[in-house]
Structure formats: structure tokens, C-alpha cells
């Protein structure tokens, strides 16, 4: 059976408030949703909380979903919005991120240098975990844009659709996000460039 037909069947079941329909829908997309949430939060527990929130939002939004439309972009949009609304349990970290978003590269570097915790973890860490940590410290929109583009492999248009933002804005998020990531990785000396 083609994918669209199966999806159509699942959506119909969900629209009738059928438990099996939702079970099939969640099962199909839970891996994808978890992956995005995991990269966004860099924590298994937080990612699981977000997955739960996404499931509930899908259920609540099902009445408004138009039958015949592709399901995946809609689920991506819900996942993205849930991630953006997510407030980190570590509030201090969130404040420092927002500040860094409005500053120039030098200031970000100074702020990073001030953060003893990050420095400590970096000394022993591998490039990969440094990168994970650094992605986690990006401001929410930049972080999502980078994850969707480079880890999920979405096009600019798809990201714009998922984040409800124009392509120019998406490009700007990506440019600034990559710029911060590069500056931090260079500063930590993970590359011998």
C-alpha cells in the first residue's frame, strides 16, 4: 500500500478520535520527533518531556488538520514550535544565551571564556561533545535552524515552513548560528587550523 494511502487511513482514524489511529501516527513519527528534540535539548529526559508535549499538541490540533495534506510538514511544525516554547530547566543558561544572541563575536568569546564550567568540560571532551554542548548554548531559533538544516537535512523552504519564518530570516539564523559555532570551536582549539 502506498505511503499516502496508509497516512490517509491513519488520519481518518485519528479524526474519528480512534486510539489505534493515534497509536499508529505517534509510532510512525516518534523516532523523528525524538531525534529533533534530543538535538535541541541535548538531554534524554528533556527530549522525552518534549515528545510527550508534541504528542498532546498533535492530538489537540488534529481537528484543524486538513485531510489530504501531507502529514510530515505539519508534524515538523508542531515539533519546532514545541521546541521553541520549551523553557530550559536551567534558567541561568537561558539568560546568558539570549544576551549572547545580541552581541558581537568578541563579546561572545569573552562570555564563553568567563564560563568556567564549559571550559572545564571542554578540556577533556572530544570535538563531538564540544559541538553538542555548543549547539545547546545557541539561542533557540538559531539552534533549531542549524539542527533542521544540517542534522535533519531540510531545505531553506522546508525550514521556513516549519518555523513559520521567511527564507531570509532562516538564512540569517543559519549564518549567525554557524558563525557562533565556528568561533567557539576555534576558541576551544578543537581544530588544529
For other proteins, which is the closer residue by CB, 2 or 31?
A: 31
* Binding residues among 114-173 for other proteins as defined by CB under 8 A: 127-128, 131-132, 146, 150-153
Size of the site for other proteins (CB under 8 A): 37
For other proteins, which is the closer residue by CB, 93 or 151?
A: 151
- What Å distances lie between residue 175 and 3, 70, 117, 168, CA to CA? 35, 29, 27, 10
Cell of 106: 568578541
Q: Which one-letter DSSP state was computed for residue 151?
A: I
Q: How far apart are the first and last CA of the chain?
A: 52
Our finding on whether 181 is near other proteins (CB under 8 A) is yes
Smallest distance, other proteins to C-beta of residue 123, A:
19
- CA 21 vs. chain centroid, Å, equals 26
Of positions 3, 6, 56, 113, contacts other proteins by CB under 8 A: 56
Cβ-based neighbours of 137, under 8 Å, separated by 6 or more: 93, 96, 97, 100, 118, 184
Our finding on whether 65 is near other proteins (CB under 8 A) is no
Our finding on whether 191 is near other proteins (CB under 8 A) is yes
Our finding on whether 77 is near other proteins (CB under 8 A) is no
Closest-CA residue to 106 (of 190, 186, 172, 189): 186
Our finding on whether 2 is near other proteins (CB under 8 A) is no
For 53-56, which contacts have Cβ atoms below 8 Å and span 24 or more sequence positions? 53/82, 53/86, 54/78, 54/79, 54/82, 55/26
Our finding on whether 64 is near other proteins (CB under 8 A) is no
Q: Which positions touch other proteins (CB under 8 A)?
A: 19, 22-23, 26-27, 30-31, 34-35, 38-39, 44, 48, 51-52, 55-56, 59, 127-128, 131-132, 146, 150-153, 174-175, 178-179, 181-182, 185-186, 191, 193
Amino acid at each position: 500500500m502506498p505511503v499516502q494511502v496508509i497516512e490517509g487511513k491513519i488520519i481518518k482514524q485519528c479524526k474519528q478520535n480512534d486510539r489505534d489511529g493515534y497509536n499508529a501516527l505517534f509510532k510512525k513519527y516518534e523516532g523523528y520527533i525524538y531525534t529533533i528534540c534530543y538535538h535541541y535539548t541535548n538531554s534524554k529526559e528533556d527530549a522525552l518531556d518534549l515528545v510527550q508535549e508534541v504528542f498532546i499538541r498533535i492530538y489537540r490540533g488534529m481537528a484543524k488538520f486538513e485531510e489530504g495534506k501531507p502529514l510530515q510538514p505539519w508534524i515538523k511544525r508542531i515539533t519546532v514550535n514545541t521546541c521553541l516554547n520549551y523553557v530550559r530547566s536551567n534558567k541561568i543558561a537561558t539568560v546568558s544565551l539570549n544576551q549572547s544572541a545580541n552581541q558581537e563575536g568578541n563579546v561572545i568569546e569573552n562570555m564563553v571564556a568567563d564560563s568556567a564550567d564549559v571550559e572545564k568540560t571542554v578540556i577533556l571532551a572530544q570535538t563531538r561533545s564540544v559541538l553538542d554542548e555548543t549547539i545547546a548554548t545557541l539561542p533557540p531559533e538559531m539552534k533549531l535552524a542549524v539542527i533542521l538544516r544540517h542534522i535533519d537535512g531540510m531545505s531553506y523552504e522546508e525550514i521556513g515552513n516549519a518555523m513559520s519564518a521567511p527564507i531570509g530570516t532562516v538564512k540569517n539564523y543559519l549564518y549567525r548560528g554557524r558563525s557562533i559555532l565556528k568561533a567557539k570551536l576555534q576558541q576551544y582549539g578543537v581544530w588544529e587550523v
